[in-house]
Structure 1
Amino acid sequence: MSVIVYSKPNCIQCIATKRVLDAQGTDYKNIDLSADKNALETVIQLGYREAPVVVVEDKHWSGFRPDLIKQLCAN
């Protein structure tokens, strides 16, 4: 399962998302939106304008969503 977290530095929701993923033992790739313009375009094309954006294969969401992270870790 491929998990990508698009985040920004000093973003409270981004930090919380990565902290929960780490605590659950989920491997993920973190991409800094402030350093990667292509990643920012990808997030905009998905319809999001705020970080974090989590992409899990064909599913995605924005913001700190512990409910969805828990479902992800249960699979």
Structure 2
Amino acid sequence: MVKVYSKNNCMQCKMTKRYLTDNQISFEEVNIDHEPEALSFLQEQGFQSVPVIFGGQQTIIGFRPDQLKALA
């Protein structure tokens, strides 16, 4: 299962979720605006921006269709 950390009003987050949906890649969204502990988790891991996508063995930062394709 792919996990997408996102926030409101984030264009890259919207494009990432649309790409995953359009390519039938199921994902769980964690919105850091609604779940502040998720923001703390990302900061502890060293991430400074969203989206952050955890899928399998790889972590993708930002909207990267070339890397998202590998999750299909």
2:8 is paired with a residue of what secondary structure? Answer: coil
1:4 is paired with a residue of what secondary structure? Answer: strand
Provide TM-score, normalisation by structure 1.
Answer: 0.87
Residue 11 of structure 1 aligns to which amino acid in structure 2?
C
Q: Which runs of 4+ in 1 moved over 3 A?
A: none
Give the Å deviation of 1:59. Answer: 2.1
Provide TM-score, normalisation by structure 2.
Answer: 0.91
1:22 aligns with 2:30: no
1:9 is paired with a residue of what secondary structure? Answer: coil
1:33 aligns with 2:47: no
Q: Percent identity?
A: 35
Residue 67 of structure 2 aligns to which amino acid in structure 1?
L
Which residue in the other structure is 1:13 paired with? Answer: 12
When structure 1 is superposed on structure 2, of 12-21 and 60-69 the one drifting more is: 60-69
Which residue in the other structure is 1:49 paired with? Answer: 48
Aligned length: 72
Give the Å deviation of 1:46. Answer: 2.2
Q: Could you tell me how far apart the structure 1 residues matched to 2:28 and 2:3 are?
A: 5
Which residue in the other structure is 2:65 paired with? Answer: 66
Structure 1: any 5+ residue segments left out of the alignment?
none
Structure 2: any 5+ residue segments left out of the alignment?
none
Q: Calculate the aligned-residue CA RMSD, in Å.
A: 1.1
